[in-house]
Amino acid sequence: MSAPDRLKFTTIAHATHRYLSPLSAEKAARLVDGLALREGAEVLDIGCGRAGFLLDLVERSPASGLGVDLNGTFIAAARAEASRRGLDTRVRFVDRALADVVGDVARFDAVVCMGSSQAVGTFAEALRWAYARLVPGGVALFADGFWRRRPEPGYLEALGGATEDEMNTHAGNARVAREVGFRVLSTACASDDEWDEYEGRYCAAVERYVEANPTDPDTPAMADRVRAWHDAYLTWGRDTLGFGLYTLLKPAAREP
Protein backbone atom coordinates (compact mmCIF):
# COMPACT_ATOMS: atom_id res chain seq x y z
CA MET A 1 0.00 0.00 0.00
CA SER A 2 1.14 3.54 -0.61
CA ALA A 3 0.54 4.63 2.99
CA PRO A 4 0.14 2.54 6.15
CA ASP A 5 -3.38 2.11 7.49
CA ARG A 6 -3.74 4.75 10.19
CA LEU A 7 -5.63 2.61 12.71
CA LYS A 8 -3.28 -0.36 12.30
CA PHE A 9 -0.21 1.86 12.51
CA THR A 10 -1.25 3.73 15.67
CA THR A 11 -2.31 0.50 17.38
CA ILE A 12 1.11 -1.04 16.74
CA ALA A 13 3.05 2.16 17.49
CA HIS A 14 1.42 2.53 20.92
CA ALA A 15 1.72 -1.13 21.90
CA THR A 16 4.05 -0.47 24.86
CA HIS A 17 2.79 2.93 26.03
CA ARG A 18 1.12 3.29 29.42
CA TYR A 19 -0.43 6.54 28.22
CA LEU A 20 -0.90 7.54 24.61
CA SER A 21 0.84 10.85 25.24
CA PRO A 22 4.19 12.11 26.59
CA LEU A 23 3.30 11.72 30.26
CA SER A 24 5.04 10.03 33.18
CA ALA A 25 3.22 8.07 35.88
CA GLU A 26 4.44 10.55 38.48
CA LYS A 27 3.02 13.54 36.63
CA ALA A 28 -0.21 11.65 35.92
CA ALA A 29 -0.67 11.07 39.65
CA ARG A 30 -0.22 14.78 40.37
CA LEU A 31 -2.77 15.64 37.69
CA VAL A 32 -5.32 13.24 39.18
CA ASP A 33 -4.78 14.72 42.64
CA GLY A 34 -5.21 18.22 41.19
CA LEU A 35 -8.71 17.38 39.98
CA ALA A 36 -9.75 16.82 43.63
CA LEU A 37 -12.61 14.53 42.67
CA ARG A 38 -15.28 13.80 45.26
CA GLU A 39 -17.01 10.54 46.13
CA GLY A 40 -19.28 9.43 43.33
CA ALA A 41 -17.87 11.82 40.71
CA GLU A 42 -18.52 10.73 37.13
CA VAL A 43 -15.66 11.26 34.69
CA LEU A 44 -15.72 11.21 30.88
CA ASP A 45 -12.46 10.43 29.10
CA ILE A 46 -12.53 11.52 25.44
CA GLY A 47 -10.28 9.40 23.24
CA CYS A 48 -9.25 7.23 26.17
CA GLY A 49 -7.09 4.81 24.18
CA ARG A 50 -6.22 1.81 26.35
CA ALA A 51 -7.41 3.94 29.30
CA GLY A 52 -4.16 3.97 31.23
CA PHE A 53 -4.89 7.43 32.57
CA LEU A 54 -8.59 6.81 33.30
CA LEU A 55 -7.84 3.58 35.16
CA ASP A 56 -5.15 5.30 37.22
CA LEU A 57 -7.63 8.09 37.97
CA VAL A 58 -10.35 5.69 39.12
CA GLU A 59 -7.85 3.70 41.19
CA ARG A 60 -6.50 6.86 42.84
CA SER A 61 -9.81 8.68 43.46
CA PRO A 62 -13.39 7.85 44.51
CA ALA A 63 -14.71 8.45 40.99
CA SER A 64 -16.27 6.29 38.28
CA GLY A 65 -15.48 6.67 34.60
CA LEU A 66 -16.66 6.39 31.02
CA GLY A 67 -13.99 5.98 28.34
CA VAL A 68 -14.79 6.55 24.67
CA ASP A 69 -12.48 5.70 21.77
CA LEU A 70 -12.97 4.62 18.16
CA ASN A 71 -10.16 2.04 18.35
CA GLY A 72 -11.78 -1.28 19.22
CA THR A 73 -8.42 -2.91 19.96
CA PHE A 74 -7.62 -0.23 22.51
CA ILE A 75 -11.06 -0.56 24.12
CA ALA A 76 -10.72 -4.34 24.39
CA ALA A 77 -7.36 -3.86 26.09
CA ALA A 78 -8.88 -1.27 28.43
CA ARG A 79 -11.64 -3.65 29.48
CA ALA A 80 -9.16 -6.44 30.12
CA GLU A 81 -6.91 -4.18 32.19
CA ALA A 82 -9.88 -2.86 34.18
CA SER A 83 -10.85 -6.42 35.00
CA ARG A 84 -7.28 -7.34 35.95
CA ARG A 85 -7.09 -4.40 38.33
CA GLY A 86 -10.53 -5.03 39.82
CA LEU A 87 -11.91 -1.74 38.48
CA ASP A 88 -14.44 -3.08 35.99
CA THR A 89 -17.43 -2.18 38.18
CA ARG A 90 -16.37 1.48 38.23
CA VAL A 91 -15.52 2.05 34.56
CA ARG A 92 -17.17 1.33 31.26
CA PHE A 93 -15.81 1.67 27.76
CA VAL A 94 -17.43 2.32 24.40
CA ASP A 95 -15.75 2.03 20.98
CA ARG A 96 -18.00 4.40 19.08
CA ALA A 97 -17.92 8.03 17.97
CA LEU A 98 -18.22 10.48 20.85
CA ALA A 99 -21.34 12.12 19.38
CA ASP A 100 -23.07 8.72 19.33
CA VAL A 101 -22.30 8.09 23.00
CA VAL A 102 -22.65 11.45 24.76
CA GLY A 103 -25.72 13.52 23.96
CA ASP A 104 -26.43 17.18 24.56
CA VAL A 105 -28.15 16.56 27.90
CA ALA A 106 -25.37 14.42 29.39
CA ARG A 107 -23.54 15.94 32.36
CA PHE A 108 -20.32 14.94 34.08
CA ASP A 109 -18.38 16.02 37.14
CA ALA A 110 -15.13 15.89 35.19
CA VAL A 111 -14.03 15.65 31.56
CA VAL A 112 -10.58 14.39 30.54
CA CYS A 113 -9.23 14.91 27.04
CA MET A 114 -5.55 14.00 26.72
CA GLY A 115 -4.63 15.15 23.24
CA SER A 116 -7.89 14.01 21.62
CA SER A 117 -9.57 17.33 20.87
CA GLN A 118 -10.00 16.16 17.27
CA ALA A 119 -12.82 13.89 18.50
CA VAL A 120 -14.85 17.11 18.72
CA GLY A 121 -13.01 19.51 16.43
CA THR A 122 -10.47 22.20 17.25
CA PHE A 123 -9.01 22.71 20.72
CA ALA A 124 -11.41 25.61 21.33
CA GLU A 125 -14.40 23.61 20.07
CA ALA A 126 -13.52 20.71 22.34
CA LEU A 127 -13.23 23.05 25.32
CA ARG A 128 -16.66 24.53 24.58
CA TRP A 129 -18.14 21.06 24.17
CA ALA A 130 -16.72 19.97 27.52
CA TYR A 131 -17.82 23.17 29.26
CA ALA A 132 -21.41 22.56 28.17
CA ARG A 133 -21.37 19.01 29.55
CA LEU A 134 -19.83 19.77 32.91
CA VAL A 135 -21.94 20.38 35.97
CA PRO A 136 -21.38 23.79 37.60
CA GLY A 137 -18.24 23.44 39.68
CA GLY A 138 -17.02 20.59 37.48
CA VAL A 139 -13.42 20.20 36.40
CA ALA A 140 -11.67 19.37 33.15
CA LEU A 141 -8.20 18.15 32.30
CA PHE A 142 -7.18 18.95 28.75
CA ALA A 143 -3.89 18.25 27.04
CA ASP A 144 -2.97 19.61 23.64
CA GLY A 145 -0.03 20.54 21.51
CA PHE A 146 1.52 23.98 21.34
CA TRP A 147 4.44 25.60 19.57
CA ARG A 148 7.52 26.02 21.73
CA ARG A 149 9.00 28.08 18.92
CA ARG A 150 8.00 29.01 15.39
CA PRO A 151 7.91 25.82 13.30
CA GLU A 152 10.28 25.41 10.38
CA PRO A 153 8.66 24.86 6.95
CA GLY A 154 10.31 21.41 6.77
CA TYR A 155 8.68 20.37 10.02
CA LEU A 156 5.24 21.54 8.89
CA GLU A 157 5.71 19.49 5.74
CA ALA A 158 6.77 16.47 7.79
CA LEU A 159 3.56 16.84 9.82
CA GLY A 160 1.57 16.27 6.66
CA GLY A 161 1.26 19.82 5.44
CA ALA A 162 0.34 21.38 8.76
CA THR A 163 0.11 25.15 9.12
CA GLU A 164 1.46 27.35 11.87
CA ASP A 165 -2.01 28.59 12.84
CA GLU A 166 -3.20 25.07 13.66
CA MET A 167 -1.68 25.41 17.14
CA ASN A 168 -1.18 28.13 19.69
CA THR A 169 1.47 28.86 22.29
CA HIS A 170 1.24 27.39 25.80
CA ALA A 171 -0.01 30.73 27.13
CA GLY A 172 -2.35 30.98 24.15
CA ASN A 173 -3.96 27.62 24.99
CA ALA A 174 -4.62 28.82 28.54
CA ARG A 175 -6.15 32.04 27.20
CA VAL A 176 -8.47 30.04 24.96
CA ALA A 177 -9.68 28.08 28.00
CA ARG A 178 -10.40 31.31 29.86
CA GLU A 179 -12.25 32.75 26.87
CA VAL A 180 -14.51 29.68 26.89
CA GLY A 181 -15.37 30.45 30.51
CA PHE A 182 -13.05 28.17 32.46
CA ARG A 183 -10.87 29.21 35.33
CA VAL A 184 -7.37 27.85 34.83
CA LEU A 185 -6.38 26.07 38.03
CA SER A 186 -2.94 24.91 36.91
CA THR A 187 -0.81 24.17 33.87
CA ALA A 188 2.04 21.81 33.11
CA CYS A 189 4.15 20.72 30.13
CA ALA A 190 5.66 17.46 28.96
CA SER A 191 9.38 17.36 29.73
CA ASP A 192 12.09 16.41 27.25
CA ASP A 193 12.43 13.05 29.03
CA GLU A 194 8.69 12.38 28.68
CA TRP A 195 8.84 13.27 24.99
CA ASP A 196 11.91 11.05 24.43
CA GLU A 197 10.25 8.07 26.11
CA TYR A 198 7.01 8.56 24.19
CA GLU A 199 8.70 8.93 20.80
CA GLY A 200 11.23 6.20 21.56
CA ARG A 201 8.53 3.68 22.43
CA TYR A 202 6.55 4.74 19.36
CA CYS A 203 9.49 4.18 17.04
CA ALA A 204 10.68 0.97 18.71
CA ALA A 205 7.27 -0.68 18.62
CA VAL A 206 6.95 -0.20 14.87
CA GLU A 207 10.55 -1.19 14.14
CA ARG A 208 10.14 -4.37 16.19
CA TYR A 209 6.90 -5.18 14.39
CA VAL A 210 8.55 -4.67 11.02
CA GLU A 211 11.44 -6.91 12.06
CA ALA A 212 9.12 -9.65 13.32
CA ASN A 213 6.68 -9.52 10.40
CA PRO A 214 8.71 -9.37 7.16
CA THR A 215 5.90 -10.95 5.12
CA ASP A 216 3.29 -8.38 6.10
CA PRO A 217 2.76 -6.33 2.91
CA ASP A 218 2.25 -3.22 5.03
CA THR A 219 5.70 -3.30 6.65
CA PRO A 220 7.64 -1.35 3.99
CA ALA A 221 5.26 1.62 4.24
CA MET A 222 5.20 1.36 8.04
CA ALA A 223 8.99 1.35 8.20
CA ASP A 224 9.25 4.35 5.90
CA ARG A 225 6.69 6.26 7.91
CA VAL A 226 8.15 5.67 11.37
CA ARG A 227 11.71 6.43 10.22
CA ALA A 228 10.66 9.69 8.61
CA TRP A 229 8.62 10.57 11.70
CA HIS A 230 11.44 9.89 14.12
CA ASP A 231 13.89 11.85 12.00
CA ALA A 232 11.49 14.80 12.01
CA TYR A 233 11.21 14.54 15.80
CA LEU A 234 14.98 14.63 16.22
CA THR A 235 15.52 17.34 13.60
CA TRP A 236 12.72 19.73 14.60
CA GLY A 237 10.02 18.31 16.83
CA ARG A 238 11.94 17.91 20.08
CA ASP A 239 12.65 21.64 20.18
CA THR A 240 9.46 22.86 18.51
CA LEU A 241 6.40 20.89 19.63
CA GLY A 242 5.19 21.16 23.19
CA PHE A 243 2.47 19.25 25.00
CA GLY A 244 0.53 21.31 27.52
CA LEU A 245 -1.72 20.06 30.30
CA TYR A 246 -4.46 22.32 31.62
CA THR A 247 -6.52 21.72 34.77
CA LEU A 248 -9.69 23.77 34.47
CA LEU A 249 -12.70 24.66 36.61
CA LYS A 250 -16.19 25.49 35.40
CA PRO A 251 -17.38 28.13 37.87
CA ALA A 252 -20.52 27.34 39.86
CA ALA A 253 -21.90 30.63 38.54
CA ARG A 254 -20.66 32.80 35.69
CA GLU A 255 -18.99 36.00 36.77
CA PRO A 256 -20.63 39.23 35.45
Domains of the chain with CATH codes: 6-249 (3.40.50.150)
Answer yes or no: are the C-beta atoms of 66 and 90 closer than 8 Å.
no
Q: Work out the pLDDT band at 4, boundaries 50, 70, 90.
A: low
Q: Work out the pLDDT band at 34, boundaries 50, 70, 90.
A: very high
| Measured distance CA(159)–CA(31) in Å, rounded | 29
**In the predicted model, what is the mean pLDDT of residues 200-204?**
98
**What separation in angstroms does the CA of 41 have from each of 140, 175, 205?**
12, 27, 36
Contacts of 153 (CB under 8 A, 6+ apart): none
Residue 161 CA to chain centroid, in angstroms?
21
**Helices within the chain (DSSP H only):** 6-13, 25-35, 52-60, 72-84, 98-101, 123-133, 153-158, 170-180, 192-212, 219-232, 238-240
CA Rg, the chain, in Å? Answer: 18
pLDDT in tens, 108-141: 999 999 999 999 999 999 999 999 999 999 999 9
**In the predicted model, what is the mean pLDDT of residues 7-20?**
95
| Measured distance CA(218)–CA(5) in Å, rounded | 8
| Confidence (pTM) | 0.94
In three-state secondary structure terms, 49 is coil
| Measured distance CA(93)–CA(95) in Å, rounded | 7
pLDDT at 202: 98
Statement: residue 169 has pLDDT above 90: yes
**In the predicted model, what is the mean pLDDT of residues 160-167?**
94
Q: Work out the pLDDT band at 156, boundaries 50, 70, 90.
A: very high
pLDDT at 255: 56
| Measured distance CA(44)–CA(112) in Å, rounded | 6
pLDDT at 256: 46
Higher pLDDT, 256 or 236: 236
pLDDT in tens, 49-89: 999 999 999 999 999 999 999 999 999 999 999 999 999 99
